[in-house]
Amino acid sequence: MRKKMVAGNWKMNLSLEEAMTLSGELIEKLDHHRRDGSPGKENKLPDVVLFPPFIYLTRIREFFPDTKGVAVGAQNCHHEESGAYTGEVSAPMLSSAGATHVLIGHSERRAQFGEDDQLLARKASRALKNGLTTLFCCGEKLPERESEQHFDVVEKQLQSGVFWMKEEQLSHAVIAYKPVWAIGTGKTASPAQAQEMHLFIRRLVEKTYGKAAAGNIRILYGGSCNANNAGELFAQADVDGGLIGGASLKPRDFFQIILAAAS
Ligand code: PGA
């Protein structure tokens, strides 16, 4: 049985003070839930991962000691181990700062920073070598969906970004399906559209790695997922949680989404 995951991608938002306040409110809600929940209920909460801007990583990590059940990750990393790359952040730096996860291939990185499939594969490889769980993002743009190329686009992104991994590496990867037309637009994929694509992705994993790996890999949905639609999306057989942007900045909404993934 796959454990669900809810991840919050803060993108380039929040001052440090706002980030600390948000984290404090989230801890309070989680603690309250655990205190008032029936015994064993804590185990049923999904894995929760926060992706703050690099500069807040250590502070936010300190806020969530291991017992709080919230991991911290970075929104990006460089593809080299170290060196003369002014302004960049490497995977070993992230690990040493307490990050356990990293996002690779977000559509905003692809579109605004020209990150292509080849570079993303190198980033994913570097992240995995440094022990970071890698959330690899894929998803089609609106014209690609309208011209019914969405399956081909996602397959190509995964072929180059993920399917080079050895099975052991794949066990430290999570796939996030994030249709670009749904990101920050308020336009969510319908539960049926999400399920259709997630099942397609799981079958691709099965073709490459076999049934067990396909059964184990988590596939998250992202794109205007919010407190109102999360329940229905997460109820789909192949949707293992969500990668949340805008709604992760509102503690009440984000907590509702976490609860929607609790079993
Ligand atoms: P959104 O963003 O939830 O605001 O649509 C999702 C993401 O880009 O991670």
| pLDDT over threshold 60, residue 59 | yes
- When the pLDDT of each residue in the chain is averaged and rounded to a whole number, the result is 95
Whether the Cβ atoms of residue 44 and residue 73 lie closer than 8 Å to each other: no
Measured in Å, residue 116 CA sits from the centre of ligand 1 at 20
Q: How confident is the model at residue 34 (pLDDT cuts 50, 70, 90)?
A: confident
Mean pLDDT of 134-150: 96
Q: Of 96, 55, 89, 48, which Cα lies nearest the Cα of 72? A: 48
Residues with a CB atom less than 6 Å from ligand 1: 9, 178, 183-184, 222-225, 243-247
CA of 186, closest atom in ligand 1: 5
Q: The tokens of 160 are what?
A: 């180059």
pLDDT at 37: 67
CA of 223, closest atom in ligand 1: 5
Where does residue 150 fall: left (phi above 0), alpha (psi -120 to 50 degrees), or beta otherwise? alpha
Measured in Å, residue 223 CA sits from the centre of ligand 1 at 5
- Could you name the CATH architecture of 5-34+42-262? Alpha-Beta Barrel (3.20)
Q: The tokens of 37 are what?
A: 């929940």
Q: How confident is the model at residue 1 (pLDDT cuts 50, 70, 90)?
A: confident
pLDDT at 184: 83
Mean pLDDT of 219-231: 96
CA of 247, closest atom in ligand 1: 3
Backbone angles phi, psi at 30, to 5 degrees: -65, -45
pLDDT at 33: 87
Q: For residue range 89-99, what is the model confidence (pLDDT) as tens digits?
A: 999 999 999 99
Percent of the chain scoring above 70 in pLDDT: 97
Could you tell me the sign of the dihedral formed by the alpha carbons of 192, 103, 139, 108, in that order? positive
- What does pTM read for this prediction? 0.95
Q: How confident is the model at residue 65 (pLDDT cuts 50, 70, 90)?
A: confident
Residue among 49, 233, 244, 254 to mutate when testing ligand 1 (max atoms within 8 A of CB)? 244
pLDDT at 204: 98
Mean pLDDT of 13-36: 93
Nearest CA to ligand 1 atom 6: 245
Q: For residue range 240-252, what is the model confidence (pLDDT) as tens digits?
A: 999 999 999 999 9
| Three-state SS sequence of the chain | CCCCEEEEECCCCCCHHHHHHHHHHHHHHHHHHHHHCCCCHHHHCCEEEEECCHHHHHHHHHHCCHHHCEEEEECCCCCCCCCCCCCCCCHHHHHHCCCCEEEECCHHHHHHHCCCHHHHHHHHHHHHHCCCEEEEEECCCHHHHHCCCHHHHHHHHHHHHCCCCCHHHHCCEEEEECCHHHCCCCCCCCHHHHHHHHHHHHHHHHHHHCHHHHHHCCEEEECCCCCCCHHHHHCCCCCCEEEECHHHHCHHHHHHHHHHCCC
Measured in Å, residue 13 CA sits from the centre of ligand 1 at 12
Q: For residue range 204-216, what is the model confidence (pLDDT) as tens digits?
A: 999 999 999 999 9
Count CB atoms within 10 A of the CB of residue 87.
5
Q: For residue range 168-221, what is the model confidence (pLDDT) as tens digits?
A: 999 999 999 999 999 888 888 899 999 999 999 999 999 999 999 999 999 999
Which residues does 104 contact at the CB level (< 8 Å), separation at least 6? 76, 77, 120, 123, 124, 127, 134, 135, 136, 137, 161
Domain ranges of the chain: 5-34+42-262
Q: For residue range 78-89, what is the model confidence (pLDDT) as tens digits?
A: 999 999 999 999
Measured in Å, residue 36 CA sits from the centre of ligand 1 at 31
